[in-house]
A and B are shown apart, each in its own frame.
Chain A
Amino acid sequence: MVEPVLEIRDLRKTFGALKATDSVSLDLRPGEIHALIGPNGAGKSTLIHQISGSFRPDSGTIRFLGQDMAGLDMAARARLGLGRSFQISSLAQEFSALRNVMLAVQARQGTSFRFFRPVMSDKSLTEPAMAMLERVGLAGRAYVAAAELSHGERRQLEIAIALALGSRAFLFDEPMAGMGPEGSKALTKFLDGLRHEAPILLVEHDMDAVFALADRISVLVYGRVIATGTVDQIRNDPEVRRAYLGEAA
């Protein structure tokens, strides 16, 4: 069996009396899209926050590329290749789309402590950044400030940033949220190809996208993983149907 890229074992996190993450174990294997679904408040984003390093779990382990993540902050995890997008877009709002991606390019190069050379005329930054914007279809909006981009464009920009980091695994938190049907369809197609570059842990509410993309699905309810399996297994799981998919499936 192949070594998982990301391996989560018995993760627990409580906020007061609320068990936001309750003994969660899951893994992300090379080349796969592993979707994480569940009703609102199930603890999906809390889990993503713990993996990316925004929150510290109460107990349990997170291993990424074989390395224990305990004690590493968000920046350190990003440097190791954990690229994330945020549920609510998190961008340098005054900077253009291009400059947001350039920031990721310089971070990847490890050259943020250079003090004099102007970045805007530096092709080693602008060219790779522009290439990433082209990949996500945002090249035409390169010089627009992040604050002025549409909601869907900001999601695309977040993905371009994760790409520019040369991430070894992607954590995408509801990348389709707020996108129109056309945008969702285009992004679904894009993510479908992206899994061969690096595996994706995908939190998503758009079930069409999840069923089209996921190699495996884990269902999170009240902080617990109640089922993990292929699309067909999950669709036919009685507990999942009762807890989450309901009549819709």
Chain B
Amino acid sequence: MSRETIVNILLALLLLAVPLGASAMGEPFYITLATRIAILALAAVGLNIALGLGGLVSFGHAAFFGLGGYAAGILATHAFDGVPLFAGIPGTASMPIIWLVAVVVCGLIALPIGAISLRTTGVYFIMITLAFAQMIYYFAVSWPAYGGEDGLSIYVRNEFPGVNTTQPLSYFLICYAVLMAALGLFWLLRGSRFGAALQAARQNATRLAAVGITPFNVRLIAFAVSAMVTGLAGALFADLNKFVSPSMLSWHMSGELIVLIILGGKGRLFGPVAGAMLYVLIEYALGGITERWQFFLGLILLGVVLFARGGLLGLLAGKVRHG
């Protein structure tokens, strides 16, 4: 077993052990904290497909995080009020259906956004993805039907067949399972033919074109898959907070996801998990001491970028190894 595999297993066990222990000690707050880590990690696993594997620095993934959140919020509101969405289609409080809707919506919206954004590279790509996300943000702010600026409350957490989702530990376990499934997907994707083409597009797009694979097509699919995973995280996040607001769509959120990946180690399987753990821990530990905890986050980020390019995983498990 490689050192990275061992580190990954330990991280996975740690994330599982904390809420189990907290539950045994009757400390639900820590369960919520761990759930937040799992969901942010999931969102970052999505971004890691585009950013880590494909080198596509999307500064607009909050759009998909927020869209997933709104999918959950809107469907739940209609189900609660008993008012059909449109054309007689009812809302739903069933998580699996909400997730499906969130994923499909994000995929469908990511395709045109990606198709336009991927005509650019570098700084322009960063800016154009940001612009698209901000468009969606302002759309949500100015749409009163679903709360506009004030956001939208989910009165009762949505349901999952056979699970009491209102129990913090049960909801954590759902999120944890989804995170593990997404990590499995990422692992498969990275090792597959598609993953080889995607990583080659990051390393040298000219080389990819010279063997006859069009980089644009590979990147577009990756961007859409990446958006779908992040959208799923958004739906879970809305249910965790029982609230969705335009802040989920804002550029701060996009930046936060990038920070998670840089902290954890970009392109690494468990980079987003390590990053989310570190981020939420800093937020919790320093946030209790000072309002200006983000100043210290900035310092840590600076340290990582200057001295530990591979992030936390680079420190713990060494350099990336390709076969």
Contact = CB atoms under 8 A, between A and B. Distances in A.
A75 interface: yes
A84 B214 CA distance: 16
A116 B204 contact: no
B257 to A, nearest CB: 23
B96 interface: no
A42 interface: no
A117 B187 CA distance: 11
B197 A94 contact: no
A236 interface: no
A120 interface: yes
Nearest to B201: A92
A119 B192 contact: yes
A73 interface: yes
A13 to B, nearest CB: 19
A21 interface: no
Contacts of A90: 204, 206-207, 210
Q: Which of A76, A100, A161 has the most CB of B within 10 A?
A: A100
A205 interface: no
A112 B207 contact: no
A235 B192 CA distance: 52
Contacts of B218: 112
Interface string B120-135: 0000000000000000
Contacts of A120: 191, 323
B211 A114 contact: no
A118 B323 CA distance: 11
A170 to B, nearest CB: 12
B212 A99 contact: no
A116 B212 contact: no
B208 interface: yes
Contacts of A102: 196
Interface in B302-323: 320, 322-323
Contacts, number: 114
B188 interface: yes
Please classify the interface of chain B as helix (H, G, I), strand (E, B), loop, or mixed, using the class held by over half of its residues: helix
Contact of B194 (A98, A100, A107, A114): A114
Interface residues of A, number: 41
Interface in A89-134: 90-96, 98-100, 102-104, 106-108, 111-120, 125
A200 interface: no
A107 B320 contact: no
A78 interface: yes
Given A91-B207, A112-B194, A119-B191, A99 B213 contact: no
Contacts of A106: 193, 196-197
Contacts of A96: 322-323
Contact of A99 (B188, B196, B221): B196
A93 to B, nearest CB: 6
A52 interface: yes
28 contacts: A74-B210, A75-B210, A75-B212, A75-B213, A84-B210, A90-B210, A92-B203, A92-B208, A93-B204, A94-B320, A95-B196, A95-B203, A96-B322, A96-B323, A99-B196, A102-B196, A103-B197, A107-B197, A108-B211, A112-B194, A113-B221, A115-B189, A116-B192, A118-B188, A118-B192, A143-B323, A145-B322, A161-B210
Interface of A: 52, 54, 73-76, 78-79, 84, 86, 90-96, 98-100, 102-104, 106-108, 111-120, 125, 143, 145, 161, 165
Given A74-B210, A106-B197, 12 more contacts: A74-B209, A84-B210, A94-B199, A95-B200, A102-B196, A103-B211, A107-B213, A113-B193, A117-B193, A119-B192, A161-B210, A165-B211
The 3 closest A-B pairs by CB, nearest first: A78-B212, A79-B212, A118-B191
